[in-house]
């Protein structure tokens, strides 16, 4: 009885993995190599790839700069409203990207904050800055989850010992906590980058998904699918798939090394 | 100034745990062991002294300076934990040198200081290694070296030996005793192990439910516990009686029994009688002399606690326990129901008058 159940579970795992793998294989096998190389060389693809990588890089850096101290605060200190803050920061994970995009569009468009930023000459809505902002808010919760659990596993005792030896709170964070959180931080970095590269709904609503202006790889895939340009769509899909594979590989490698 | 630490009316509230009404002083060079059941607030107390928690009220004065509101890095207090808390991304050398780097800029001086303490603690051969590759005993010596090398005014230790095996523990105890006296460090040491108290401390603090029940010399606490709880916790025989004669020697009547003590107490006083179980000799025959107190009873229970054997004997209506090392069992074999004689000297009987 037990052996039968065990085999059934293993079979379900194998079948579902096979279906998923076949779909990836379709992406690689079905299009002709010539078509892919042509698509890769097109100015639209070059633009999209460049914008995707640069915006993802900037948003990842911002996510880490903001997410690291914020996750540390949530993991280490108790303060009023901590639970609500944690829930709010986690919300985008459960929220559809288009809803997050809409919310951000309204915040940066119609509120005093949007007006103030416009006054400073910073236009978020339907611009490349909007791409970065959209990616930032989409990737932040994922990175923060990783960072939060990393900091939580590091005992506060290490910090107290360092401080008892004469190091201030910030110095202790830099010399003890951060190096000890190294693998978690790298994992968060990789996740933030992957999420930024793959952000679609938020970018589409906040930055507009305009051809050759705010066009990132997922937008390229979407736009070309709607024109019926399958070669371009598949090429952007392949590039995104490549990023995902590298991400998973790096997370697995770094995750094992604590 | 004789006292180095003065804790006054300290209250710390962490929600689930709190400590209240904590007032005590520690003299320079004292070795204080803090004992008490799990959850009694021992660790919160030392972590508050180290600066981890902000007290609700009260003050902590270290070497004449009010450190209550100072951050941990300004206190000059060392701390050693049960799980060592060695920085895993640094070598043993860098761990020990970590605090020195804040105080000394000359590299050669840092190297000299680290090597000196490493030699004293017998860890000079592992300075290049990472903490994760060390044994528990080695890790604890590194943690001790790291804390002591900066010569803190006060060293706090939270169950430093509890994760070590018996042999390593006793070896480390000797090492701690030597190195602490050489560096003339004042120590507060939280422990569950009475052997730490007997072999290291000159003072002992008993805590329970966030309060200090008794704080005195080891001799006083272990011979004259201030309450039934402390008596029970330190595993001492407690009886209640009335003093019937107080001439040269004091005689206490406990039910039908008479026990002689050297403590001077007025006739008619109601007293608690304390006798440490290790001070009671249990024999199968009546000894001829030497003991002022010889009580006849029957063995009711025998418990082997590893390093000590405990025998409970009923004398009339009173249950008394005595403790001895297991090798005695090779000579005398005790069984439940055996008739035995409990023998102890009058100066091992301590009296505590209560109203």
Q: B208 with B261, same domain?
A: no
Q: B138 with B162, same domain?
A: yes
State the nearest Cα–Cα gap between A175 and chain B, in angstroms.
10
State the nearest Cα–Cα gap between B47 and chain A, in angstroms.
9
What average pLDDT score do residues A91-111 get?
A: 93
Average pLDDT over chain A, rounded to an integer: 92
For residues A46 and A122, the answer to whether their CB atoms sit within 8 Å is no
Superfamily of domain A34-255: MetI-like (1.10.3720.10)
Q: B88 with B185, same domain?
A: yes
CB atoms within 10 A of CB A153: 12
Nearest to B99 among A156, A165, A182 (CB): A165
CB atoms within 10 A of CB A36: 18
Residue-level pLDDT at A258:
40
Residues of the domain holding B73: 3-229
- Which of B293, B268, B264 lies closest to B281 in space, CA to CA? B293
Nearest to A167 among B52, B73, B88 (CB): B73
Q: Provide residues of B within 8 Å CB-CB of chain A.
A: 47, 50-52, 71-73, 75, 77-79, 81, 83, 85, 87-89, 98-99, 102-103, 146-147, 150, 152
CB under 8 Å to B184, separation ≥6 — which residues? B28, B29
Q: What's the pLDDT tens digit per position in A13-45?
A: 999 999 999 998 888 888 888 888 999 999 999
Residue-level pLDDT at B355:
58
Average pLDDT over chain B, rounded to an integer: 91
**ipTM of the modeled complex:** 0.83
Q: B72 with B198, same domain?
A: yes
**Ordered alpha helix ranges (H), chain B:** 42-50, 92-103, 107-120, 136-148, 166-182, 194-200, 218-223, 228-233
Residue contact A168–B73, C-beta within 8 A: yes
Distance between CA atoms of residues B311 and B289, nearest Å: 23
Q: Which two tokens stand for residue B113?
A: 């200081």
Residue contact A176–B87, C-beta within 8 A: yes
DSSP one-letter string for chain A: -HHHHHHHHHHHHHHHHHHHHHHHHHHHHSS-HHHHHHHHHSHHHHHHHHHHHHHHHHHHHHHHHHHHHHHHHHHH---TTHHHHHHHHHHHHHS-HHHHHHHHHHHHHHSHHHHHHHHTT---TTSHHHHHHHHHHHHHHHHHHHHHHHHHHS-HHHHHHHHHTT--HHHHIIIIIHHHTHHHHHHHHHHHHHHHHH--HHHHHHH---TTTS--HHHHHHHHHHHT-HHHHHHHHHHHHHHHHHHHHHHHHHHT--
Give the HSE-up count for residue B59: Cα atoms under 13 Å, Cβ half-sphere.
8
- pLDDT < 50 stretches in chain B: none
Residue contact A180–B88, C-beta within 8 A: yes
Letter string b/e over residues B71-82, b meaning 16 or more CB atoms within 10 A of that residue's CB: ebbebbbbbbbb
Q: What is the chain A residue with the closest CA to B98? A: A165
Residue-level pLDDT at A249:
84
Residue-level pLDDT at B1:
55
Q: What's the pLDDT tens digit per position in A120-155?
A: 989 999 999 999 999 999 999 999 999 999 999 999
Cα B25 to Cα A4, B4, B205, distances in angstroms: 69, 8, 11
Q: B41 with B68, same domain?
A: yes
Identify from A80, A166, A183 which residue to disrupt to test chain B contact, counting B C-beta atoms within 10 A and taking the largest count. A166
Domain boundary among B195, B229, B263: B229
Nearest to A165 among B71, B81, B150 (CB): B150
Sheet of B57-62: strand order equals B18-27, B3-13, B57-62, B65-66
CB under 8 Å to B118, separation ≥6 — which residues? B92, B96, B124, B127, B145
Domain boundary among B204, B229, B254: B229
State the nearest Cα–Cα gap between A250 and chain B, in angstroms.
21
Residue-level pLDDT at B287:
86
Q: Which residues pair with B213 in a beta bridge?
A: none
Burial, B344: exposed, middle or buried (Cβ in 10 Å; 0-12, 13-18, 19+)? Answer: buried
Specify the DSSP class assigned to residue B285: S
Give the HSE-up count for residue B354: Cα atoms under 13 Å, Cβ half-sphere.
12
Residue contact B81–A166, C-beta within 8 A: no
Residue-level pLDDT at A1:
54
Specify the DSSP class assigned to residue B263: S
Domain count, chain B: 2
What average pLDDT score do residues A225-235 get?
A: 90
Helix (H, G, I), strand (E, B) or coil at B194: helix
Q: Please state the domain extents for chain A.
A: 1-30, 34-255
Q: B96 with B180, same domain?
A: yes
Nearest to A164 among B50, B87, B103 (CB): B50
What average pLDDT score do residues A65-91 get?
A: 94
Q: Report the range of poorest mean pLDDT among A46-60, A193-207, B292-306.
A: B292-306
Residue-level pLDDT at B88:
96
Q: B294 with B330, same domain?
A: yes
In this structure, what CATH number is given to the domain that contains residue B42? 3.40.50.300
Q: What is the chain A residue with the closest CA to B14? A: A78
Q: B305 with B328, same domain?
A: yes
Which chain A residues have a beta carbon less than 8 Å from that of B52?
156, 160
Integer distance in angstroms from the first to the last C-alpha of chain A?
A: 39
State the nearest Cα–Cα gap between A96 and chain B, in angstroms.
38
Nearest to A160 among B72, B83, B146 (CB): B72
For residues B269 and B282, the answer to whether their CB atoms sit within 8 Å is no
Distance between CA atoms of residues A126 and A29, nearest Å: 36
Cα A175 to Cα A178, A179, B87, B166, B337, distances in angstroms: 7, 7, 10, 35, 65
Residue-level pLDDT at B340:
93
Residue contact A163–B81, C-beta within 8 A: no
Which chain A residues have a beta carbon less than 8 Å from that of B73?
163-168
Distance between CA atoms of residues A170 and A79, nearest Å: 19
What average pLDDT score do residues A39-56 get?
A: 94
Q: B46 with B192, same domain?
A: yes
Sheet of B318-324: strand order equals B281-283, B339-344, B293-304, B309-315, B318-324
Q: B221 with B253, same domain?
A: no
Distance between CA atoms of residues A150 and A146, nearest Å: 6
- Which of B189, B351, B160 lies closest to B270 in space, CA to CA? B351
Q: B303 with B204, same domain?
A: no
Burial, A74: exposed, middle or buried (Cβ in 10 Å; 0-12, 13-18, 19+)? Answer: buried
Q: How confident is the model at residue A46 (pLDDT cuts 50, 70, 90)?
A: very high
Domain boundary among B229, B257, B280: B229
Distance between CA atoms of residues B297 and B299, nearest Å: 7
What average pLDDT score do residues A211-223 get?
A: 94
């Amino acid at each position: 009885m037990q052996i039968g159940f065990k085999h059934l579970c293993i079979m379900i795992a194998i079948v579902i993995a096979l279906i998923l793998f076949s779909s990836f294989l379709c992406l690689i096998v079905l299009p002709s190599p010539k078509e892919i190389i042509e698509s890769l060389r097109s100015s639209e693809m070059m633009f999209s790839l460049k914008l995707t990588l640069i915006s993802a890089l900037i948003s990842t850096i911002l996510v880490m700069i903001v997410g690291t101290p914020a996750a540390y605060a949530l993991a280490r200190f108790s303060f009023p409203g901590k639970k609500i803050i944690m829930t709010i920061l986690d919300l985008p994970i459960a929220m559809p990207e288009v809803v997050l995009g809409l919310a951000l569009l309204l915040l940066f468009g119609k509120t005093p904050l949007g007006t103030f930023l416009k006054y400073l000459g910073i236009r978020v809505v339907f611009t490349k800055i909007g791409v970065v902002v959209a990616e930032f808010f989409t990737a932040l919760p994922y990175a923060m989850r990783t960072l939060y659990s990393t900091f939580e596993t590091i005992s506060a005792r290490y910090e107290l010992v360092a401080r008892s030896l004469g190091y201030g709170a910030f110095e202790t964070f830099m010399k003890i906590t951060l190096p000890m959180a190294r693998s978690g931080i790298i994992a968060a970095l990789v996740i933030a980058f992957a999420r930024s590269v793959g952000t679609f709904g938020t970018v589409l609503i906040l930055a507009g998904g305009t051809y050759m202006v705010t066009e990132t790889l997922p937008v390229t895939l979407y736009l070309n699918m709607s024109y019926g340009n399958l070669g371009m769509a598949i090429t952007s899909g392949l590039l995104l798939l490549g990023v995902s594979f590298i991400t998973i590989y790096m997370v697995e490698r770094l995750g094992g090394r604590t | 100034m004789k006292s180095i630490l003065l804790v006054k009316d300290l209250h710390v509230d962490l929600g689930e745990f709190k400590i209240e009404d904590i007032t005590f002083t520690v003299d320079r060079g004292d070795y204080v062991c803090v004992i008490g059941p799990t959850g009694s607030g021992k660790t919160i107390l030392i972590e508050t002294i180290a600066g981890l928690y902000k007290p609700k009220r009260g003050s902590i004065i270290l070497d004449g300076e009010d450190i209550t509101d100072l951050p941990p890095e300004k206190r000059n207090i060392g701390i050693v934990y049960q799980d060592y808390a060695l920085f895993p991304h640094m070598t043993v050398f860098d761990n020990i040198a970590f605090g020195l780097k804040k105080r000394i800029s000359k590299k050669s001086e840092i190297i000299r200081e680290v090597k000196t303490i490493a030699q004293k603690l017998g860890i000079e051969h592992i300075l290049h290694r990472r903490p994760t590759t060390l044994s528990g005993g080695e890790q604890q010596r590194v943690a001790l070296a790291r804390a002591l090398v900066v010569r803190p005014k006060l060293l706090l230790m939270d169950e430093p030996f509890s994760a070590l095996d018996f042999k390593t523990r006793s070896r480390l105890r000797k090492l701690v005793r030597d190195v602490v006296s050489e560096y003339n460090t004042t120590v507060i040491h939280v422990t569950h192990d009475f052997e730490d108290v007997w072999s290291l401390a000159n003072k002992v603090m008993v805590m329970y439910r966030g309060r200090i029940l008794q704080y005195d010399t080891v001799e006083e606490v272990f011979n004259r516990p201030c309450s039934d709880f402390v008596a029970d916790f330190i595993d001492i025989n407690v009886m209640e009686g009335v003093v019937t004669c107080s001439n040269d020697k004091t005689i206490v009547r406990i039910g039908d029994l008479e026990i002689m003590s050297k403590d001077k107490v007025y006739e008619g006083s109601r007293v608690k009688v304390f006798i440490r179980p290790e001070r009671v000799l249990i024999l199968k025959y009546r000894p001829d002399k030497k003991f002022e107190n010889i009580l006849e009873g029957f063995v009711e229970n025998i418990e082997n606690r590893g390093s000590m054997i405990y025998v409970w004997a009923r004398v009339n209506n009173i249950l008394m326990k005595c403790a001895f090392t297991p090798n005695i069992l090779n000579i005398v074999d005790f069984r439940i129901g055996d008739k035995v004689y409990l023998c102890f000297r009058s100066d091992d009987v301590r009296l505590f008058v209560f109203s």
